[in-house]
Chain A
Amino acid sequence: MSKQINVALIGNPNTGKTSVFNALTGLNQKVGNYPGITVEKKQGVCKLPRGVKAHIIDLPGTYSLNASSLDESVVIELLLNKNDKDYPDVAVVVTDVENLKRNLLLYTQIKDLKIPTILVINMSDRMSYKGISLDIDYLETQLDTKIALISTRKGKGIEDLKSLIINYKTLSIESCIDIRNIDTNYFEGLEHVFPNQSLYKLWLVITQDVNFGKIDKNTINDATNFKTKSESDLKRLQQKETIKRYQFINNVLKKGQTIDLKSAKDIRIQLDRILTHKVWGYLIFLGILLLIFQAIYSWAETPMDFIDASFASLSEWLSTKLPDGVFTNLITEGIIPGLGGIVIFIPQIAFLFLFISILEESGYMSRVVFLMDKIMRRFGLSGKSVVPLISGTACAIPAIMATRNIESWKERLITILVTPFTTCAARLPVYLIIIALIIPEGTLLGIGYKPLTLLIMYLIGFAAAVGSAYLLNKIMKIRSKSYFVVEMPTYKLPLFKNVFITVVEKTKAFVFDAGKIILAISIVLWFLASYGPGDDFNNAEAIVTEQYASVNLTQDELDEKIASHKLEHSFIGITGKAIEPIIQPLGYDWKIGIGIVSSFAAREVFVGTLATIYSVGTDDEDTIKNRMAKETNPFIGGPLYNLASGISLLLFYAFAMQCMSTLAIVKRETNSWKWPILQLVTMSSIAYLIALIAYQVLK
């Protein structure tokens, strides 16, 4: 017998389900995706006493088994499929002591699936503060289960939960509600046709359009065609079911829970009076955004300079220690500069994830949704689009996935289409290095020119997103019902452990996913830059030596001339020269052109690409920034990166759709190639035009 217990954590959003998961598994967790869809799948392992291991899966937060989004349907699909390898031996339903009544609705549904179910009542430390007292024995009898009263904040009750999990076989699997009571005739008819099936499961299959075992909606409809229910009948029955469940819960809680309102305190009301205020609310939101940008810029600077310098010296150190040869050159000129281009941005990406996770954990994000809904609707978006647009500043991929809880398809589609305009972390590397090169030191009203430029780039991103949403809303003819329900949770001090784990996991995922691509591209680019066809490349030394025979050059200067001649006639040089006419009007040379082309795999490749190109064939180890500053414009002379070409490059990156992974996600989320292709073509054309205008005006 295997000693592993499959445990599913289920609960409403904002019940601290993730905290329970983190408390059980610690850093012993793995985040992946469900096969075929991009819903985040979090799993972990928890060691229980007596050598038993629990495999814990943290299901997406849901208010009920009546799924209203892709995330939620994952929950029901797992719970109906006994053959799934993750099918739980025991379900742990996490509830919040303050919202017990509402949270129990989901509990009664899970219980009716006849899965052994443990009830966790979380945030028990707030009970006295809220004037709540519970009769646990009574609740356990009435709800027919075992209850773990825990507080993840104070670290209490986790051991109790573990011992309940280990003894899951003693739990009752009786259901709470007899679904027959909702419509006796209908359900008895169903029972007649499928005598061996659980009626509640059949009911879910009918209403949720999911499969279980061999039965799906159509088999049921075929078998019961004598009384198929219309859509509105079904909805009426679902309403009735909900009312029945609440009646049951109210009866249980009438005796099991007492709330002394006099001793209850709630800072939510006071805080909301300010934070959702018509004027103060917006000012505070703006202030928070400003704080984030200033912080990302100034706090991350020191570690970034350190990383940049470390990579340069690592490369130099390796080239002296390793034997001469092709592979050594590949490492010191290709791989290390390429990797340095991504590692350097870890501090900033981590800070960005830190702020976003604090905003979400504290409950403030819901207030932003509330404040922004009316404004966003003018542009065809929803208040809930604010969350994707803000998390889009980290990465468009999770942001596009975060659109799933937008109820209206049109609002959701528009949000998906415009989110890639927001300034994602992958643009930061490009922005930062260009800003460092072209924007002078100095301050305006206490804010440095450089952070100010960065802030403007972020604003341009948001303006592009919102502006194109407005146009799309006018153009697209999709009629869609829009529902908007958003819970306003209590304010909570973010748990350090939760925030820490989020930052570590997300930064890791970002760096490794992007890192693999960058590493591979660096290797390929190095080869393309180090080899070339024909005489021009292979006899470079002879050609250049002869060319400069009359001029008195030192050996170093001559070597440099040879290297650049080789680069120009390498495979990459030939390709770059071929596209140069297209990008020359934007103020770029062929090397930047190669950077841009390789950026279509992912933007952050740009810096790594340039680093690789500039370091091929050179012996002196220098930072990427210094190498870029030394480049001169081959057509008009002067530094290649000046104000005009720099601004043009910044704007190009602000608008262009250069991320294959985002396109893949958009395809998956919209189930059509139409939308990602539209994004790619439109955004990149806009980028080219704007960059062109900027350079021609500024030069």
Chain B
Amino acid sequence: MQLTIADLKRGQKGIVKDVSSKEIPLKLLEMGCLPGNHVELLQVAPFSDPMYLNINGTHLAIRKETAKHIIIEPSTNE
């Protein structure tokens, strides 16, 4: 199974690999959620939803259902 942002634990990092899913709004890409960019899960609300992320220096929150579609690979330098 592929790793997605929804699988991250608080404080974990990864690198965005694939954002081609239709469920990902263009707005998210425009805010920097693009392949190759670093992503870190900073904080979660109760029930891990929504998720508060730092993607490529932008701090934003998305719902878990969107996070499930953003495929990542584990960060190599950790």
Task: Give A residues with C-beta under 8 Å from B.
Answer: 63-64, 66, 68, 98-99, 101-102, 105, 232, 235-236, 238-239, 242-243, 246, 268-269, 272-273, 276, 278, 366, 369-371, 373-374, 383, 407, 481-490
Contacts and interface: CB of A to CB of B under 8 A. Distances in A.
Contacts of B19: 239
A487 B58 contact: yes
Nearest to B55: A102
B59 A488 contact: yes
B34 A243 contact: yes
Nearest to A247: B34
B28 A485 contact: yes
B45 A373 contact: yes
Given A63-B30, A102-B32, A239-B29, A484 B63 contact: yes
B30 A483 contact: no
A485 B31 contact: yes
B61 interface: yes
Q: Is the contact region of chain A dominated by helix, strand, or loop, or is it mixed?
A: helix
Nearest to A486: B61
A486 B43 CA distance: 14
A371 B61 CA distance: 10
Given A101-B56, A484-B66, A486-B60, 5 more contacts: A105-B30, A374-B46, A485-B66, A488-B52, A488-B59
9 contacts: A63-B27, A102-B58, A235-B22, A239-B26, A239-B29, A370-B52, A370-B61, A373-B63, A483-B25
A220 B50 CA distance: 40
A370 to B, nearest CB: 5
Contacts of B26: 66, 68, 235, 238-239, 242
A272 B62 CA distance: 16
Contact of A101 (B45, B57, B59, B65): B57
Contacts of A268: 59
**Across the A-B interface, the 7 shortest Cβ-Cβ residue pairs:** A488-B59, A483-B25, A484-B63, A370-B61, A64-B30, A486-B61, A373-B50
B49 interface: yes
B42 interface: yes
Interface residues of B, number: 32
A369 B34 contact: no
Contact of B42 (A63, A101, A272, A373): A272
A427 to B, nearest CB: 31
Contact of B60 (A236, A383, A485): A485
B46 A487 contact: no
B34 A485 contact: no
Contacts of B59: 268, 487-490
A272 B52 contact: yes
A371 B45 contact: yes
A273 B43 contact: yes
Among B22, B45, B52, B60, the most chain A Cβ lie within 10 Å of the Cβ of B45
A490 B46 CA distance: 22
Nearest to B65: A482
A476 B69 CA distance: 27
Given A268-B59, A369-B61, A242 B52 contact: no
Given A374-B47, A485-B25, A242 B30 contact: yes
A407 B61 CA distance: 14
A373 B49 CA distance: 8
Contacts of A99: 57-58
A273 B58 CA distance: 17
Contacts of B60: 485-488
A252 to B, nearest CB: 15
Contacts of B56: 101-102
A264 B46 CA distance: 30
A66 B34 CA distance: 17
A487 B28 CA distance: 10
B42 A269 contact: yes
B41 to A, nearest CB: 12
Most chain B CB within a 10 A radius of its CB, from A371, A383, A486, A490: A486
A382 B60 CA distance: 16
Contacts of A238: 26
Contacts of B61: 366, 369-370, 373, 484-486, 488
B30 A66 contact: yes
Nearest to B25: A483
A178 B28 CA distance: 23
B26 to A, nearest CB: 6
A366 B42 CA distance: 15
A483 B50 contact: no
A239 B30 CA distance: 8
A104 to B, nearest CB: 11
Contacts of B47: 374
A641 to B, nearest CB: 45
Nearest to A101: B57
A665 B59 CA distance: 33
